[in-house]
């Protein structure tokens, strides 16, 4: 299944002024990278994958529409899945985009 192109366009609009953000198709979705580090992605099947500070993962997972990203059936600290309901409103999407971009910006460039 392809990623949600309308959602990708909404993310693109939020990151358009940031020269450090690049796009790359990855894992069936469209990733948005900052200096080579993935910040978030429009997922296949809808919603977004967001990179966050691992220390904040547990608290953020308690929000509605948010769950840990699972890799081989195991939760991965620092990566969250936000379903479509959690990014439907423009303000909610902007919050997740800012969180992912800010965290990725603090990582060493690749």
Distance of CA 22 to the CA centre of its chain: 13
Written as six digits, the tokens of 70 are 């699972």
Q: Which residue has the higher pLDDT, 24 or 71?
A: 24
Q: Is residue 104 situated within a structural domain?
A: no
Q: Is residue 76 situated within a structural domain?
A: yes
How confident is the model over 35-66, as pLDDT tens digits? Answer: 999 999 999 888 999 999 999 999 999 999 99
In which order are the strands placed within the sheet that holds 21-26? Answer: 21-26, 29-34, 37-42, 48-51, 74-82, 66-71
Confidence (pLDDT) at 66: 97
Mean pLDDT, the chain, whole residue set: 94
CATH value at residue 66: 3.90.1150.30
pTM over 0.85: yes
Q: What percent of the chain has pLDDT over 90?
A: 84
Number of folded domains in the chain? 1
Collapse the DSSP code of 44 into the 3-class scheme (helix H, G, I; strand E, B; otherwise coil) and give the result.
Answer: strand
Residue 1 has pLDDT above 80, yes or no: no
Q: Is residue 67 situated within a structural domain?
A: yes
């Amino acid at each position: 299944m392809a990623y949600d192109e309308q959602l990708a366009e909404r993310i693109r609009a939020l990151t358009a002024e940031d020269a450090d953000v690049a796009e790359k198709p990855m894992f069936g979705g469209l990733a948005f990278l900052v200096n080579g580090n993935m910040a978030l992605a429009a997922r296949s099947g809808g919603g977004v994958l967001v990179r966050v500070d691992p220390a904040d993962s547990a608290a953020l997972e308690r929000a509605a529409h948010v769950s840990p990203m699972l890799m081989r059936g195991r939760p991965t600290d620092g990566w969250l899945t936000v379903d479509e309901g959690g990014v439907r409103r423009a303000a909610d999407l902007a919050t997740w985009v800012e969180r992912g971009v800010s965290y990725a910006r603090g990582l060493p460039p690749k």
